[in-house]
């Protein structure tokens, strides 16, 4: 089923709203065992949006025509959430997935908040965990009301009626009524006070690889992403923000730009300038023709080396904020037979989803209409209200399908920018960032400088473990008003504070050192950073102890049954310990995050020129009850490749306050020819579902670091991995084989199409 | 006016000669299935077929298209290879966000059209110009092989 290009016009709620910013309290809260619940688990019809005769709660609409619409609290950006959430409702509502239509919830922080995120947001691998109970309850409640309506119609006991595939049957007589025919009567039924959910063994849909709802329209260009929206009289704009972080716009000479055919307007903002044209090409050429003077400001001399030096200095000198301290850490460290220490450095990372930042806005005299794909619709709406000065209900936001989010669209600063541009003209504008703008004006995953140490006992196992994290506060950058200086931001230590090992004497702390760089969450959030350090270091300890890395972890997971479960499964399936050809190596990584456990083994080879080939990845996962196994596997495959891309290639660096990278040629993404074969094995589990969208991203870098060590004996502690450090052929030539393949088919076609010489040069 | 043949239809567009075909398709003609990803022939999101050959429309000046037939994602299902690829894509649930998939399908269909039984190396050569940020590569490979058998 394809998504409509825009949802029905919404009269949004007047309820109290946090202007211009939600209260995302951090994904780490899940780790703290807080029970996720949706705010709207009780009957409460949505204001406006989808109307139907039977609207028992915020999620379900059944019309007298039999149309079943599910209003889903979390947005679809490729992770399969729409299908997963629809499955939860459908399971209890007793309908099949091809009987329902899934739509995005309108902005409404009251009805569609994910409690652990403190607002209406999709992120932190929380969707399925947060909706697991409430959506099944919503489905069951609606079904009970439909069944009650049918029983009343037939004057028979409810216990004689059964709902199945959208039809209620009276078993003794075989009489039947479809949900559509019951919609009016069901709406008059009282909401049941008690709802019993199905037993796991009775699941019809949960646990099956149901077809995705969102994909048929993605094979033929039919679906519309935010960037595809076209509204009457719309113009297209592209924008340049000050290339120096935090800088401002000075003067703009737009004479040449305005002379370009198709250029309509040049719009100045405080820190950016936009050119609006009849089409993107006119806007882009116009932008290139501007003569801009920037006011570079305080960051004009900022360089990556300074940022890392500041992190190192802070790590060594500043008083840390304690995340966890158990046992006699100092005493054990002094008494240790062997002490192992290491420092790890991680870079800033851009999200670079395939769909560049875009937003369609029409600011009319008294209202503002927005079409955008966002992970935080209510925050986006609030920001637009602020920029326009309109009350919230005069900001109509249509959420759109997203071409990849990975955390980028948890922030809505680009929506505010788009509204500020559109406010200056009378017509609707689609603002599209170039890829260069998208990479250079992202909010980045923070850089980190971590010092880690352990004391080993006579048996080689750690008797004490100390992990000092240093980096910026993502929450501090996110929450309006910042995050208290002396308070722990759980994200900074998530994945470090509670590694799935028996480590009774442990200290984990964090030195906060905020960079002058905008930062935010990135796929895998805290664990992507911390598990790289923990799992690389665990391998270092095994090596120091002269033990096999799996054997070593086995000894430390005696009281960690779920961790031990995935460890054993991956060891078995990967043939751990069996011989490999020269130049090859296997690396392992084990972690728990987002409520799921994962162990991954990567098999690689390293050539004498330092080139890394990824042969095979074997993953064992325990993510609790699996709602849709196929989607779980897709997320593991994709998440792993996402993490491998970063480990091999990704790093955002700064020179003179400007981002050095600009597009996919220098911010490399793994390509098809480089991807490993991936095998996934499940540990059967009846625990509540864990998150899965980010889990494998976390495994990638440490498994690769450990495989590189196994293949070469070299321990790489800085991301992305420097392949030149792996050379053994004596050449000093830079490693080359990973250069992006030139677009060969394009070259051929261009040659035959006789393009302008200027275009050929681009090849 | 520049004359184009797009998905079997004659179209005349009044646009600058250096305007890339991508923006003519998306912003002038309204065929938005072809995507913008990088603008510099690095990602393949904008792939269309020119007389059956895959090209990156983001760097292809519209004036250089000439009489060649342009096929976009909206019409690729009408070709035998395109239909097989689409079916295999859905059958193996290749797609995640889907934003790269128009380009992937255009490249894969062109490959299958010319090479009914592509090897892994053929797939590497034909598909490594198409980035998928969601990381659907292993399924893309499997789906091409499945389509080849269909
Ligand atoms: S948009 Fe053309 S190759 Fe990326
Ligand atoms: S499916 Fe999302 S970029 Fe390929």
Q: Centre a 10 Å sphere on the Cβ of residue A734 and count the other Cβ atoms it contains.
A: 11
Say if ligand 1 is within 6 A of residue B44 CB: yes
Task: Give pLDDT, residue A115.
Answer: 65
Q: Of the candidates B122, B128, B142, B53, which has an alpha carbon nearest to the alpha carbon of residue A679?
A: B142
Q: pLDDT digit string (tens) for A171-212?
A: 999 999 999 999 999 999 999 999 999 999 999 999 999 999
Task: Give pLDDT, residue A21.
Answer: 30
pLDDT at B89 over 70: yes
B62: contact with A, CB 8 A cutoff: no
Q: pLDDT digit string (tens) for A449-503?
A: 999 999 999 999 999 999 999 999 999 988 888 899 999 999 999 999 999 999 9
Mean pLDDT across the stretch A126-140?
A: 87
Closest chain A CA to residue B105:
A219
Domain boundary among A210, A240, A269: A210
Domain boundary among B71, B95, B116: B71
Say if ligand 1 is within 6 A of residue B103 CB: no
The reply to whether A663 and A712 lie within a common domain is: yes
Domain boundary among A432, A465, A486: A432
Task: Give pLDDT, residue A19.
Answer: 26
Task: Give pLDDT, residue A749.
Answer: 43
The reply to whether B36 and B93 lie within a common domain is: no
Q: Centre a 10 Å sphere on the Cβ of residue A704 and count the other Cβ atoms it contains.
A: 30
The whole-angstrom separation of Cα A628 and Cα A535 is 29
Residue A42 · residue A4 · CB < 8 Å? no
Domain boundary among B50, B71, B92: B71
pLDDT at A106 over 90: no
Task: Give pLDDT, residue A18.
Answer: 26
The reply to whether A495 and A626 lie within a common domain is: yes
Which CATH number belongs to the domain containing residue A678 in this structure? 3.30.365.10
Are A356 and B90 inside 8 Å of each other by CB?
A: no
The reply to whether A42 and A103 lie within a common domain is: yes
Say if ligand 1 is within 6 A of residue B20 CB: no
Residues β-bridged to residue A451: A343, A468
The reply to whether A318 and A284 lie within a common domain is: no
The reply to whether A382 and A405 lie within a common domain is: yes
Task: Give pLDDT, residue A44.
Answer: 39
Q: pLDDT digit string (tens) for A8-24?
A: 332 222 222 222 233 33
Mean pLDDT across the stretch A389-408?
A: 93
Question: Dihedral through CA B35, CA B37, CA B40, CA B42, nearest 10?
Answer: -110
Q: pLDDT digit string (tens) for A540-569?
A: 999 999 999 999 999 999 999 999 999 999
Q: pLDDT digit string (tens) for B91-120?
A: 999 999 999 999 999 999 999 999 999 999
The reply to whether B85 and B135 lie within a common domain is: yes
The whole-angstrom separation of Cα A439 and Cα A705 is 26
A212: contact with B, CB 8 A cutoff: yes
DSSP letters for A702-713: HHHHHHHHHHHS
Task: Give pLDDT, residue A129.
Answer: 82
Confidence of residue A590 (pLDDT cuts 50, 70, 90): very high
The Å distance, Cα B46 to ligand 1 centre, comes to 5
Atom of ligand 1 nearest to the CA of B42: 3
Residues β-bridged to residue A236: A277, A430
pLDDT at A238 over 80: yes
Are B59 and A759 inside 8 Å of each other by CB?
A: yes
Q: How many domains are there within chain A?
A: 3
Mean pLDDT across the stretch A217-245?
A: 97
Residue A372 · residue A395 · CB < 8 Å? no
Q: Of the candidates A39, A122, A725, which has an alpha carbon nearest to the alpha carbon of residue A412?
A: A122
Are B74 and A211 inside 8 Å of each other by CB?
A: no
pLDDT at A757 over 60: no
Say if ligand 1 is within 6 A of residue B58 CB: yes
The reply to whether A137 and A241 lie within a common domain is: no
Mean pLDDT across the stretch A321-348?
A: 97
User: Beta-strand (E) ranges in A623-714?
Assistant: 654-655, 658-659, 677-682
Mean pLDDT across the stretch A44-55?
A: 63
Are B135 and A638 inside 8 Å of each other by CB?
A: yes
The alpha carbon of residue A517 is apart from the nearest alpha carbon of chain B, in Å, by 24
Domain boundary among B71, B94, B109: B71
The reply to whether A170 and A241 lie within a common domain is: no
DSSP A103: E
Q: Which residues of A touch B38 (CB under 8 A)?
A: 435, 663-664
Q: Which residues of A touch B132 (CB under 8 A)?
A: 354, 672
A40 in a structural domain:
yes
φ, ψ of residue A139 to 5 degrees: the values are -65, -45
A9 in a structural domain:
no
The reply to whether B6 and B60 lie within a common domain is: yes
Radius of gyration of chain B (CA): 15
pLDDT at A680 over 90: yes
The reply to whether B65 and B83 lie within a common domain is: no
The reply to whether B130 and B94 lie within a common domain is: yes
Tell me whether strands A291-295 and A321-326 are parallel, antiparallel or unpaired: unpaired
The reply to whether A193 and A236 lie within a common domain is: no
Confidence of residue A128 (pLDDT cuts 50, 70, 90): confident
Domain boundary among A146, A181, A210: A210
The reply to whether A309 and A292 lie within a common domain is: no
Domain extent for A612: 304-349+444-726
pLDDT at A362 over 60: yes
Residues β-bridged to residue A140: none
Q: Of the candidates A225, A236, A187, A211, which has an alpha carbon nearest to the alpha carbon of residue A86?
A: A211
Task: Give pLDDT, residue A27.
Answer: 35
Residue labelled with tokens 């190192």: A312
Lowest mean pLDDT among A28-32, A615-619, A671-675, B3-7: A28-32
pLDDT at A110 over 80: no
Q: Which residues of A550-576 are buried (b: 16+ CB within 10 A; e: fewer)?
A: bebbbbbbeebebbbbbbbbbbebbeb
The Å distance, Cα A460 to ligand 1 centre, comes to 52
A27 in a structural domain:
no
Lowest mean pLDDT among A38-47, A379-388, A420-429, A637-646: A38-47
Residues 6+ apart with CB under 8 A from A35: none
The whole-angstrom separation of Cα A54 and Cα A66 is 10
Average pLDDT of chain B to the nearest whole number:
97
Domain extent for B16: 2-71
Q: Of the candidates A264, A260, A261, A290, which has an alpha carbon nearest to the alpha carbon of residue A277?
A: A264
The reply to whether A597 and A556 lie within a common domain is: yes
Are A672 and B36 inside 8 Å of each other by CB?
A: no
What separation in angstroms does the CA of B58 have from each of A89, A282, A702, A708, B62?
Answer: 42, 14, 37, 38, 10
Which CATH number belongs to the domain containing residue B58 in this structure? 3.10.20.30
| Omega within 30 of 0 (cis) for the link into A294 | no
Mean pLDDT across the stretch A327-343?
A: 96
Which of B26, B46, B105, B135 would you mutate first to test chain A, the one with the most A CBs within 10 A?
B135
The reply to whether B88 and B59 lie within a common domain is: no
The reply to whether A150 and A206 lie within a common domain is: yes
Q: pLDDT digit string (tens) for A267-285?
A: 999 999 999 999 999 999 9
User: How much of chain A, in percent, has pLDDT values that exceed 70?
Assistant: 89
The reply to whether B50 and B90 lie within a common domain is: no
Confidence of residue A104 (pLDDT cuts 50, 70, 90): confident
Residues 6+ apart with CB under 8 A from B128: A671, A672, A673, A674, A741
A231 in a structural domain:
yes
The reply to whether B56 and B95 lie within a common domain is: no
The reply to whether B82 and B22 lie within a common domain is: no
Mean pLDDT across the stretch B65-90?
A: 98
pLDDT at A760 over 70: no
Residues 6+ apart with CB under 8 A from B117: B148
Between these two residues, A49 and A606, which has the higher pLDDT value? A606
The Å distance, Cα A404 to ligand 2 centre, comes to 7
Q: Which residue has its alpha carbon closest to ligand 2 atom 4?
A: B132
Structure tokens at B58: 């983001």
Residue labelled with tokens 């990704």: A650
Q: Of the candidates A753, A754, A761, A221, which has an alpha carbon nearest to the alpha carbon of residue B50?
A: A753
Task: Give pLDDT, residue A220.
Answer: 97
DSSP letters for A14-26: -S---TT------
Average pLDDT of chain A to the nearest whole number:
88
The whole-angstrom separation of Cα A531 and Cα A702 is 7
Structure tokens at A366: 């008294």
Residue A166 · residue A179 · CB < 8 Å? yes
Structure tokens at A145: 């009301």
Q: How many domains are there within chain B?
A: 2
A324 in a structural domain:
yes
A58 in a structural domain:
yes
- What sign does the CA torsion over A469, A471, A475, A480 have? positive
Are A746 and B68 inside 8 Å of each other by CB?
A: no
The reply to whether A248 and A145 lie within a common domain is: no
């Amino acid at each position: 089923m394809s998504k409509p290009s825009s949802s029905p016009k919404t009269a949004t709620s007047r309820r109290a709203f946090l202007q211009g910013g939600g209260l995302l309290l951090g994904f780490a809260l899940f780790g703290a065992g807080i029970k996720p619940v949706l705010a709207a688990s009780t009957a409460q019809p949505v204001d406006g949006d989808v109307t139907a005769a039977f609207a028992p709660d915020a999620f379900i609409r059944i019309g007298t025509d039999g149309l079943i619409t599910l209003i889903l609290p979390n947005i679809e950006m490729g992770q399969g959430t729409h299908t997963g959430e629809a499955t939860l409702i459908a399971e209890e509502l007793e309908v099949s997935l091809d009987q329902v239509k899934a739509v995005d919830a309108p902005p409404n922080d009251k009805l569609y908040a994910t409690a652990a995120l403190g607002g209406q947001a999709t992120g932190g691998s929380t969707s399925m965990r947060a909706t697991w109970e409430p959506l099944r309850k919503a489905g069951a409640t609606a079904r009970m009301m439909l069944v009650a309506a049918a029983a009343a119609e037939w004057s028979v006991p409810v216990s004689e009626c059964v709902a199945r595939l959208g039809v209620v049957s009276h078993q003794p007589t075989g009489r039947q009524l479809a949900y559509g025919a019951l919609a009016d009567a069901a709406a008059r039924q009282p909401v049941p006070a008690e709802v019993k959910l199905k037993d796991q063994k009775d699941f019809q849909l949960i646990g099956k690889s149901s077809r995705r709802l969102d994909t048929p329209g993605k094979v033929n260009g039919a679906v519309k992403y935010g960037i595809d929206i076209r509204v009457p009289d719309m113009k297209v704009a592209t924008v340049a923000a000050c290339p120096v972080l935090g800088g401002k716009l000075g003067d703009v000479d737009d004479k040449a730009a305005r002379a370009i055919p198709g250029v309509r307007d040049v719009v100045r903002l405080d820190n950016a300038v936009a050119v609006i044209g009849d089409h993107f090409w006119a806007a882009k050429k116009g932008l290139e023709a501007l003569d801009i003077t920037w006011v570079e400001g305080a960051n004009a001399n900022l360089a990556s080396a300074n940022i890392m030096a500041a992190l190192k200095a802070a790590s060594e000198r500043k008083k840390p904020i304690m995340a966890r301290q158990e046992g006699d850490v100092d005493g054990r460290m002094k008494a240790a037979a062997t002490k192992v220490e290491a420092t790890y450095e991680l870079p800033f990372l851009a999200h670079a989803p395939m769909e560049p930042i875009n937003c369609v806005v029409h600011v009319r005299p008294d209202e503002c209409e927005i079409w955008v794909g966002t992970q935080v619709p209510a925050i986006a709406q609030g920001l637009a209200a602020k920029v326009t000065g309109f009350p919230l209900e005069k900001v109509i936001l249509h959420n759109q399908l997203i071409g990849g989010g990975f955390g980028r669209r948890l922030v809505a600063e680009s929506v505010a920018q788009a509204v500020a541009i559109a406010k200056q003209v009378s017509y609707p504008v689609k603002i599209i960032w170039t890829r260069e703008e998208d990479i250079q004006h992202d909010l980045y995953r923070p850089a980190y400088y971590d010092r880690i140490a352990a004391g080993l006992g006579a048996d080689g196992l750690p008797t004490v473990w100390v992990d000092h994290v240093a980096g910026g506060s993502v929450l501090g950058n996110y929450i309006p008003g910042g995050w208290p200086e002396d308070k722990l931001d759980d994200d900074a230590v998530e994945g470090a504070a509670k590694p799935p090992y028996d480590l009774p004497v442990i200290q984990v702390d964090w030195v906060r050192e905020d960079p002058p760089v905008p930062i935010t969450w990135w796929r895998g959030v805290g664990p992507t950073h911390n598990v790289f350090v923990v799992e690389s270091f665990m391998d270092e300890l095994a090596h120091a102890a002269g033990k096999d890395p799996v054997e070593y972890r086995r000894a430390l997971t005696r009281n960690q049954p779920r961790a031990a479960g995935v460890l054993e499964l991956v060891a078995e399936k990967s043939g751990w310990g069996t011989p490999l050809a020269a130049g090859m190596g296997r690396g392992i990584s084990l972690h728990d995050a987002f409520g799921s456990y994962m162990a991954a083994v990567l098999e690689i080879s390293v050539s004498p020129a330092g080139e890394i080939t990824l042969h095979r990845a074997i993953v064992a996962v325990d993510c609790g009850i699996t709602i849709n196994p196929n989607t779980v596997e897709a997320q593991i495959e994709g998440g792993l490749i996402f993490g491998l891309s970063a480990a091999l290639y990704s790093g955002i660096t700064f020179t003179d306050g400007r981002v050095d990278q600009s597009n996919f040629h220098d911010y490399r993404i793994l390509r098809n020819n480089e991807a490993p074969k991936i095998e996934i094995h499940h540990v059967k589990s009846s625990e509540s579902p864990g998150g899965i969208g980010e889990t494998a991203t976390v495994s990638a870098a440490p498994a690769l670091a450990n495989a590189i060590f196994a293949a070469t004996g070299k321990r790489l502690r800085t991301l992305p991995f420097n392949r030149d450090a792996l050379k053994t052929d004596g050449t000093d030539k830079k490693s080359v084989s990973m250069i992006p393949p030139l677009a060969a088919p394009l070259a051929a076609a261009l040659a035959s199409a006789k393009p302008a010489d200027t275009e050929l040069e681009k090849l | 006016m520049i004359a184009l043949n797009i998905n079997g239809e004659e179209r005349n567009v009044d646009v600058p000669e250096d305007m890339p075909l991508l923006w003519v398709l998306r912003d002038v003609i309204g065929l938005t299935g072809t995507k913008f990803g990088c603008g510099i022939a690095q990602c393949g999101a904008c792939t269309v077929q020119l007389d059956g050959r895959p090209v990156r429309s983001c760097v292809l000046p519209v004036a250089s298209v000439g009489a060649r037939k342009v096929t976009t994602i909206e019409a690729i299902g009408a070709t035998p290879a395109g239909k097989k690829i689409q079916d295999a894509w859905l059958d193996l649930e290749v797609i995640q966000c889907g934003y790269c998939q128009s380009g992937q399908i255009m490249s894969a269909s062109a490959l299958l059209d010319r090479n009914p039984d592509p090897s892994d190396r053929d797939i590497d050569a034909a598909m490594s110009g198409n980035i998928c940020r969601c990381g659907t590569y292993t399924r893309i490979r499997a789906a091409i092989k499945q389509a080849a058998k269909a």
